[in-house]
Structure 1
């Protein structure tokens, strides 16, 4: 995966449109878990974006907004779904934390181990 593909993948995970029925945010809004491999692909894309932005001093607004949504909105949807009785996969909370840590790494310029 290259930087442009990773960037597009991350943005697509936040776009809620009729054509984009498998976006992570859309699935979580519907109380559905991520599809198999979706979190792994998201984490890989975050690492590729981190590597691509290592020397950058700015991040474009569209990507920054997608990173925000992947970090904050997924946590909010998780909490809201749990309150509503959604039976999320057992490791989803930890996976969302990994996404948040990876996003922090992109903004700070320091990658942390995501174990």
Structure 2
């Protein structure tokens, strides 16, 4: 069974990030203007690093997880999350989305199974 959390991006305006958990895999899907902009999976090999990063970000810390197979990353700067995703064959070839400041805390609570 899967569950999805939708977070609002502060940059670009009007964009959202869906995070879906399938067992031990997280799928990140960026959507804007009614269409999908990017998608990448954090397989079990990356899930623990991702969960650790989110806990660090929720506490206002810094760190990153590089997802080499997808040429993508999730990073935290003083608790603000940024998703960097590859778009092969598109212009620009890479996008950087910054989430709203409270996204890290909301995501940490969701991962922990707490009601937000």
**Structure ranking higher on relative contact order (CA contacts 8 Å, 6+ apart):** 1
TM-score by length of structure 1 reads: 0.30
Q: Which structure has the bigger radius of gyration?
A: 1
Which structure is higher in helix share? Answer: 1
Which structure is higher in strand share? Answer: 2
TM-score by length of structure 2 reads: 0.30
